[in-house]
C-alpha cells in the first residue's frame, strides 16, 4: 500500500531536477529521477509513478522518443505526463496530447509553484 503519490522526473540537467525534487518532496510526493530516456524506461518500470515530468531535449533519444516508447505499453501509456521544456513556445497546443501529455510548462517562465500546481491538476 503506497502512502505517497509517486513522480518520476526525467531531465538531463541534474541541478534543475534537484530543485523540482526539493519542491515535490516538500509537498509530500515520492520522487525518482532519470537523466535520459533510456534510464527513464527502467525507472518508470520499477517505480510505477503516478505522474511523469519530462524534459524534451536530452542527450541520446529525446523526450518525444520516450513518449512514443511509453505509448507502446498500455499500462505506461496511461500515466499522465507533464512536459517541462525550454522550447514550450515551439510546441503547438495539443500536439503532444495523443502521447499522454496533459500539461506543458515553459522552463524559462515557470516558478517552483507552477510544477506543483501542474502535478495536482493532472492527478485530479
Partner 1 sequence: MQGSYSEKRAVGNDIPGSQIPALVAAAHELKSPLALVRQLSLALQTGDYSPKEIDALAERITLTSERALRLTNDLTRAARLEDSFFSLEPLNPHTMLEEVADELAPLYRAKGRRIVVSPRRYGLLAVANHDLLRRVLMNFADNALHYSGSQQPVTLGVTARPKQGTIRLGVRDYGPAVPADIWKRSLQPGTEHAWHMRPESSGLGVSIARQFAEYMGGQVGVTRHQDGATFYVDIAASMQMRLL
| 46 lies in the site for partner 1, by CB under 8 A | no
Distances from the Cα of 95 to the Cαs of 52, 65, 118, in angstroms? 17, 14, 18
Number of H helices, E strands in the chain: 5, 5
Nearest to 87 by CA among 67, 111, 63: 63
Give the three cell numbers for residue 22.
526539493
Position among 5, 6, 32, 62 found at the interface with partner 1 (CB under 8 A): 62
Question: Rule CB under 8 A: is residue 71 a binding residue for partner 1?
Answer: no
Q: How far is CA 27 from the centre of its chain?
A: 16
Contacts (CB under 8 A) with partner 1, residues 80-99: 86
Q: Does 121 bind partner 1 (CB under 8 A)?
A: no
Sheet hosting strand 101-106, strand order edge to edge:
30-34, 6-10, 51-54, 81-85, 101-106
Out of 60, 71, 75, 123, the only residue in the binding site for partner 1 (CB under 8 A) is 60
Which parts of 4-43 interact with partner 1 (CB under 8 A)?
Answer: 12-16, 19, 22-23, 26, 35-36
Whichever of 23 and 79 has its CB closer to partner 1, that residue is 23
Applying CB under 8 A, the residues found at the interface with partner 1 are 12-16, 19, 22-23, 26, 35-36, 56-60, 62, 86, 107-108, 111-112
Amino acid at each position: 500500500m503506497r502512502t505517497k503519490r509517486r513522480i518520476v522526473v526525467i531531465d538531463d540537467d541534474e541541478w534543475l531536477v534537484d530543485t523540482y525534487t526539493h519542491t515535490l518532496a516538500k509537498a509530500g510526493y515520492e520522487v525518482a529521477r532519470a537523466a535520459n530516456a533510456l534510464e527513464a524506461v527502467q525507472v518508470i518500470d520499477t517505480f510505477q509513478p503516478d505522474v511523469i515530468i519530462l524534459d524534451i531535449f536530452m542527450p541520446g533519444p529525446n523526450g518525444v522518443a520516450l513518449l512514443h516508447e511509453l505509448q507502446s505499453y498500455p499500462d505506461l501509456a496511461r500515466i499522465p505526463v507533464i512536459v517541462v521544456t525550454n522550447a514550450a513556445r515551439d510546441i503547438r497546443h495539443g500536439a503532444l496530447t495523443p502521447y499522454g501529455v496533459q500539461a506543458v510548462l515553459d522552463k524559462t517562465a515557470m516558478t517552483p509553484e507552477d510544477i506543483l500546481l501542474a502535478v495536482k491538476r493532472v492527478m485530479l
